Amino acid sequence: MFQKILIANRGEIACRIMQTAQKMGIQCVAVYSTIDEHALHVQMADEAYWLGDAPSQDSYLRGDKIIAIAKKSQAEAIHPGYGFLSENADFAEACLKAGLVFIGPSPKAILAMGDKSKAKAIMEKAQIPCTPGYHGDNQDADFLLKEAQKIGFPVLIKAAQGGGGKGMRKVENARAFKEALESAQREATSSFGDNTVLLEKYLENPRHIEIQIMADNHGNAVYLFERDCSIQRRHQKIIEEAPAIDLPSDLRRKMGETAVMAAKAIGYSGAGTLEFLVNDADTFYFMEMNTRLQVEHPVTEIITGLDLVAWQLKIAANAPLPCSQDDIKAQGHAIEVRLYAEDPSHDFLPAIGQIRYLSWPTASDTVRVDSGVEQDDTISPYYDPMMAKLIVHASTRSEAIDTLKNALKQTHIIGVKNNKLFLQNLIDLKDYTAGKLNTGFIAQHESALKLSHADMNDTIVCGAALYEILHLEIFVANSEDTFSPWHRQDGFRLELSYQRVMQFKDRNTVYTVKVVYHSESCYSIFVNDRSCEIEMVDMLAASSQSEPDVQCGHAVNTSLYALTPHPCGARSPLDIGFRLRALHCGTQRKMPKNIDEAIHYMKVVGVGQERWIICENKEYYLEVVEDNATAAADSEKTGHLNAPMPGVVIAVHVKNGDKVRKDDCLMLMEAMKMEHSIYAPEDGVVREVFYSVGDLVEEGAELLVMEV
Identity of the amino acid at 557? N
Q: In the prediction, which pLDDT does 139 show?
A: 93
Query: Domain check: are 271 and 297 in the same one?
Result: yes
Does 530 reside within a domain?
yes
Distances (CA, A) of 592 to 507, 532, 597: 21, 9, 12
The answer to whether residues 3 and 47 touch, using CB atoms and an 8 Å cutoff, is no
Tally of domains in the chain:
5
Place 557 in a pLDDT band, splitting at 50, 70 and 90: very low
Query: Domain check: are 432 and 501 in the same one?
Result: no
SS3 of residue 64 by DSSP: helix
Place 522 in a pLDDT band, splitting at 50, 70 and 90: low
Query: Domain check: are 594 and 501 in the same one?
Result: yes
Tell me, what CATH number does 346's domain have?
3.30.470.20
CA gap 90, 451 in Å, rounded? 44
Does 429 reside within a domain?
yes
- What is the arithmetic mean of pLDDT over 669-698? 85
Does 124 reside within a domain?
no
Q: What is the mean pLDDT of the chain?
A: 84
Q: In the prediction, which pLDDT does 544 show?
A: 33
Place 444 in a pLDDT band, splitting at 50, 70 and 90: very high
How do residues 35-48 score in pLDDT, each as one tens digit?
999 999 999 999 99
Query: Domain check: are 276 and 246 in the same one?
Result: yes
Name, of 121-135, 480-494, 534-548, 549-563, the range with top average pLDDT.
Answer: 121-135
Query: Domain check: are 160 and 282 in the same one?
Result: no
Query: Domain check: are 260 and 351 in the same one?
Result: yes
Query: Domain check: are 645 and 622 in the same one?
Result: no
Q: Strand (E) positions, 344-402?
A: 349-350, 353-354, 357-359, 367-371, 378-379, 386-394
Which H or E element spans position 413? strand 412-414
> Of 157, 177, 202, which marks where a domain is finished?
202
Does 122 reside within a domain?
no
**DSSP letter (8 states) at residue 614:** E
Query: Domain check: are 417 and 530 in the same one?
Result: no
> Of 628, 654, 681, which marks where a domain is finished?
628
The answer to whether residues 211 and 259 touch, using CB atoms and an 8 Å cutoff, is yes
Q: In the prediction, which pLDDT does 369 show?
A: 97
Name, of 118-122, 156-160, 291-295, 643-647, the range with top average pLDDT.
Answer: 291-295
For β-strands 599-607 and 610-615, DSSP reports them as antiparallel
CA gap 393, 130 in Å, rounded? 33
Tell me, what CATH number does 8's domain have?
3.40.50.20
- What is the arithmetic mean of pLDDT over 630-653? 66
Q: In the prediction, which pLDDT does 143 show?
A: 95
Tell me, what CATH number does 699's domain have?
2.40.50.100
What lies within 8 Å, CB to CB, of 520 at 6+ separation is 488, 489, 490
Query: Domain check: are 462 and 538 in the same one?
Result: yes
130/77: higher pLDDT: 77
The answer to whether residues 432 and 337 touch, using CB atoms and an 8 Å cutoff, is no
> Of 183, 202, 221, which marks where a domain is finished?
202
- Over 60: is that where the pLDDT of 537 sits? no
- Bridge partners of residue 336, in order along the sequence: 240, 391
Query: Domain check: are 475 and 328 in the same one?
Result: no
572/168: higher pLDDT: 168
For β-strands 702-707 and 640-642, DSSP reports them as antiparallel
The answer to whether residues 595 and 532 touch, using CB atoms and an 8 Å cutoff, is yes
User: Mind telling me the catalytic residues?
Assistant: 292
How do residues 101-149 score in pLDDT, each as one tens digit?
999 999 999 988 867 777 878 888 877 888 888 988 899 999 999 999 9
Does 83 reside within a domain?
yes
- Over 80: is that where the pLDDT of 654 sits? yes
> pTM, whole model, 2 decimals?
0.80
How do residues 301-323 score in pLDDT, each as one tens digit?
999 999 999 999 999 999 999 99
Q: What percent of the chain has pLDDT over 70?
A: 82
Does 118 reside within a domain?
no
- Over 60: is that where the pLDDT of 150 sits? yes
667/526: higher pLDDT: 667
How many CB atoms are located within 10 Å of the residue 488 CB? 12
The answer to whether residues 625 and 503 touch, using CB atoms and an 8 Å cutoff, is yes
Q: What is the 3-state secondary structure (H, E, C) of 175-188?
A: HHHHHHHHHHHHHH
Tell me, what CATH number does 174's domain have?
3.30.1490.20
Does 664 reside within a domain?
yes
How do residues 379-402 score in pLDDT, each as one tens digit?
998 999 999 999 999 999 999 999
- What is the arithmetic mean of pLDDT over 50-72? 96
- What is the arithmetic mean of pLDDT over 519-541? 57
**DSSP letter (8 states) at residue 635:** S
Does 556 reside within a domain?
yes
SS3 of residue 441 by DSSP: helix
Query: Domain check: are 358 and 223 in the same one?
Result: yes
Query: Domain check: are 331 and 476 in the same one?
Result: no
Place 463 in a pLDDT band, splitting at 50, 70 and 90: confident
Per the structure, the complete domain to which residue 142 belongs is given by: 132-202
Torsion over CA: 217, 222, 224, 230 (sign)? positive
CA gap 191, 162 in Å, rounded? 8
